[in-house]
Amino acid sequence: MLVMTLVLAAVGFTLLVIALMTGSVVWAWGCIAICVAGAVLLLVSALASRKAAPVADSTGAAPERETGNRSFGNGRDVESDSGDSGWNSSQG
């Protein structure tokens, strides 16, 4: 569906260019109609993908989430610490 949405966007852009070059309102209305159809198709695709989101397995357990580690892109993992950050709150 997303490919069809991209095709409709390209056709709409082409109709817009034609409408601007010729000064014809008919081409502009065609561009609007194609763009609305593409927007509706994109909305339907988004709603369909939301319904198809992964659900819990048959045991009823939720999907596992990553906890405790954060990656900062430098190849090192840093453990998240819920304790003191090193700043003494009595200072200041």
What integer pLDDT is reported at residue 49 of this predicted model?
86
pLDDT band for 83, please (50, 70, 90 cuts).
low
Phi, psi dihedrals of residue 30, rounded to the nearest 5°: -65, -40
What integer pLDDT is reported at residue 51 of this predicted model?
84
pTM over cut 0.85: no
Neighbours of 12 (CB within 10 A): 20
The identity of residue 74, as a single letter, is N
Q: Residue 86 has what DSSP assignment?
A: S
The CA–CA distances, whole Å, from 22 to 11, 25, 26, 34, 48 equal 16, 9, 10, 18, 39
What integer pLDDT is reported at residue 22 of this predicted model?
94
pLDDT in tens, 21-61: 999 999 999 999 999 999 999 999 999 888 877 665 566 55
What integer pLDDT is reported at residue 62 of this predicted model?
57
Q: Using CA atoms, how far apart are residues 13 and 19, in angstroms rounded to an integer?
A: 10
